[in-house]
Structures are given as structure tokens and as C-alpha cells.
Amino acid sequence: MTPQDETSAATETSAATGESGLPPGQQDQFSGQQGAAQSLPPSPYLDGGSMPQAYLAPPQPGQPKYGVPPGFGPGRRQFGSAAWGPGRQAAGPGYQQPGYGHPGGTRGAFGPQARRDPVIAAPWERLAASVLDWIVIFGIATVTFISPLLRIWRQLQAVATQYTNLNSPGAQAAVNGIARDPSNQRALLFWFLAMFGIALGYYWIQHAAWGATLGKRALGTRVVTAADRSAIGIRAAGIRTVSFLVGPVAFLLLVSPLNIPGGLLWAADTAMTLFDPRAQCLHDKLAGTIVIRQRWLDQQAGRASRR
């Protein structure tokens, strides 16, 4: 077939199907639809009240797509961006929910302590561990000086047996005589010195080697560095131990009123756990340490082993 014949055939087909390009069977249906659309009343939602003649133009580069509300096009802030309005933060990828190390939660009885990291040991856990440690230290020192201590105890029992009223002048004079005995004074002094000497080695060695004393092991706590929660060294353990024992030594070994500053230091050092956000005592801040729960370290070790 020649080009002239093809052109003639296309002209004949167009004439047979009409201007709409549809076969004769569908051309009447198409004409009916056009007539029905033209007979509809004007739309109040369109400019001029007439039906649109064609679909909207396709989206152009740099312009919002159809159905996108104003303010969410290119160059506008989206959900998950760094900011969501003036002075507000979006709840997207850059947003952090309160968790470990973040000041979330509600305010409790002691204010800042209610916002502390739950990994950090509670004040009652630290107090209970300290009581257990001092029971151990007291027991070791007492067993070491059991002979002179038993001698003093027998002397006091003799006074209690001789005098039915210990508040009587005779009983008070006998007790004062026992207290002024040079041998008894030396025994008590050495007993106290041995107690704090044992405490010095007890806390220093165990914290440097294992990060926990016997009392802390029983309560499931451990001393770590405050910066990265790693094991503390010999130096940090020494600073922590010495600064911890200064108050008790000054309070128990010095005579009144020289022991009052030691007692105040001891009380302030212990009470800081109630108000510090990380439950740090004064000796913790000086040594750069913090007391945490052991189970957190166990969880971290378990995750590392599964990788």
C-alpha cells in the first residue's frame, strides 16, 4: 500500500467514527454523557460556576503536589525536623524521650533525686551497704583486740555487780577510774585506730580491685567512674576512701568541741545522696566516682556477648 492509499484510509476511518474518535456504537453514549454534564447546574465551588474543561496541570518541579496542605511543601518544615514552630521541638528522629541519663520523670519528695537515672543506686541501698561494711570492720577490729576489750568488760561487770545503782557516786567514781586507767585508754585508742586502719584498707583495696565491698555486693551495687562508668583505679579508690573516713575519724577520736566539725562533715557527706541528682556524696565528687546497680553492668556485658 502506497502512502497516498494510507492517508485515504485514515480519512475514511475518521469520517466513519466521527470527531470523537470512537466507533459508531460508542459515539452516541459519549455524546449523551457530554449533554448530561452540560445540563448540570452551575457549581458554587468553581470559579464562574462552570465545569472545568480539563484536568489540572501536572505538578511542576519545586511546587507542592496535589493534596499537600499549605506549609508542607519544599522548603517548609516537616515532621521530624530540628524544630516545629518557634521554641518547640518536633517529635521526630531528632527528638529524645526521657530515659537513662535524662532529667525525665516526676518530682518526688526530695526534688532532684526523683529525676535521677534509675541505674544509679538509691540512697537507702548505699546506706544499707555501708552498715554491713561497718559491721564487718567492727568485727575484725574487735576480734583483733579481744583480750584487752574483755578485760575492760570484766571490770565494768564487777562495778555493776558491786553497785545496784550505777548512778550513785560510788559507781560513777569506779567507772571513771576504769576510764582513766592508762592501760585501758591505750587499749581503746588502739582499738579505734585499728578499726579505721582496717576500714582504710578494706575500702581502698576492694574498690580498686573489684569496685565493690562486701556490703555493696550484698546490695548489688558497684562504684564506677562518673565520666564513662568504667572501673575505678587505685588513685580514685584512695581519694574516695580517705575523704570518706575524715569525718568519722575526726568525730570519734577528737575530744569535744574539736570533734564537732568532723561530725558536721560526716553528716553532710552522707546527706548529699538525698539531694544530688546522681546521688553523689562529697567523697564521690572528689574522686570522680558514682555508685550504680550491678545488674546494669551485667546487662551491658550480656549485650556485648551477643554481638
What pLDDT score was predicted for residue 27? 55
**Contact assessment for residue 278 and residue 113, using Cβ atoms and an 8 Å cutoff:** no
Q: Smallest Cα–Cα separation from 296: which of 118, 174, 154, 138?
A: 118
Q: Which three cell numbers stand for residue 282?
A: 562529697
What pLDDT score was predicted for residue 80? 38
What pLDDT score was predicted for residue 197? 95
What pLDDT score was predicted for residue 306? 74
| pTM flag (> 0.85) | no
What pLDDT score was predicted for residue 117? 80
Q: How far apart are CA 250 and CA 260, in angstroms?
A: 8
**Contact assessment for residue 136 and residue 215, using Cβ atoms and an 8 Å cutoff:** yes
What pLDDT score was predicted for residue 254? 83
CB atoms within 10 A of CB 130: 17
Q: How far apart are CA 190 and CA 178, in angstroms?
A: 16
What pLDDT score was predicted for residue 255? 78
> What are the helix (H) ranges across the chain?
3-17, 24-38, 123-144, 146-162, 169-180, 182-209, 214-219, 234-253, 260-275, 282-287, 294-306
What pLDDT score was predicted for residue 124? 92
Q: How far apart are CA 81 and CA 94, in angstroms?
A: 7
Please give the distance of CA 153 from its chain centroid, rounded to a whole number: 50
CB under 8 Å to 250, separation ≥6 — which residues?
258, 259, 261, 262, 263, 265, 266
What pLDDT score was predicted for residue 34? 55
What pLDDT score was predicted for residue 283? 95
CB under 8 Å to 262, separation ≥6 — which residues?
246, 247, 248, 249, 250, 251, 252, 254
* Phi, psi of 96, rounded to the nearest 5 degrees: -115, 125
* Mean pLDDT of successive 10-residue stretches along the chain, which has 307 residues: 53 51 55 55 53 55 55 44 41 42 42 67 93 96 94 93 88 92 93 94 96 95 93 95 93 84 91 90 95 84 74
What pLDDT score was predicted for residue 252? 86
